[in-house]
Amino acid sequence: MKRLGILLSGRGSNFEAIAESIAAGCLDAEIAVVISNRADAPGLERARARGLKAVLIPSKGLEREAYDRLLVAELARHEVELVCLAGYMRLLSSVFIQAFPMRIVNIHPSLLPAFPGLDAQHQALAHGVKFSGCTVHFVDEHLDAGPIIQQAVVPVEDGDTDASLSARILKEEHRIYTEALRLVLSGQWRLAGRRVIAAGAD
């Protein structure tokens, strides 16, 4: 069973979706540790409530690489094999990426490469796109840029606000994060250029 490490900075609903999938037997993995860089992240408390190991490592005032070394050490201590970013609001340095090459995944609330960065749902609405969605991707040293594992599309409706579009996207996030993890953990995929190809798909 693969050991997951979850990094979050806030609410933690994607973390909870992963935890639910594991509890339901839909994902053959265990959550070894949940780490937050923010003391006020509700996700930390939610992790504790599930009886999981939840660790606060405050990032404030620390230089990025020094902080990432602390994170890598904590993940190594818990023998984490795959790192799942779930609303983790910090860029990772190369120190971190090199410690977990192709073993860090992230979820982003847009159809990448459209609308990387903060407030992706607001960016999509402001741009006037008719469809948006979410993306699970491997993490490299660039922002929201690594190879795409899974995407889901949602329509943008005329009456949408940031909140209503975010809610529609979030529902799909919860679904595809598990699906993407299932593929990654199965090992039944390969990389062709930037393309993540599932075994049997060609």
Q: Which of 78, 108, 137, 174 is catalytic?
A: 108
Nearer to ligand GRF, 92 or 107 (CB): 107
- Mark whether 108 is an active-site residue: yes
Q: How far is the CB of 13 from ligand GRF (least distance, A)?
A: 3
**Least distance between ligand GRF and beta carbon 135 (Å):** 9
**What are the DSSP calls for the chain, one per residue?**
-EEEEEEESS--HHHHHHHHHHHTTSS-EEEEEEEES-TT-HHHHHHHHTT--EEE---TT--HHHHHHHHHHHHHHTT-SEEEESS--SPPPHHHHHHSTT-EEEEESS-TTSS-SS-HHHHHHHHT-SEEEEEEEE--SSTT-S-EEEEEEEEPPTT--HHHHHHHHHHHHHHHHHHHHHHHHHT-EEEETTEEEETT--
Contact residues for ligand GRF (CB under 6 A)?
8, 10-14, 43, 86-87, 107-109, 170, 173
Tokens of 54: 């939840």
In whole angstroms, the minimum distance from the beta carbon of 15 to ligand GRF comes to 6
Residue nearest to ligand GRF (CB): 87
**Is the Cβ of residue 69 or residue 151 nearer to ligand GRF in the bound state?**
151
Nearer to ligand GRF, 5 or 109 (CB): 109
Paired with 195 in beta bridges are 192
The residues facing 135 across adjacent strands are: 108, 151
Closer Cβ to ligand GRF, 4 or 86, answer by number? 86
For the CB of residue 199, give the shortest distance to ligand GRF in the complex, in Å. Answer: 27
Residues with a known catalytic role: 108
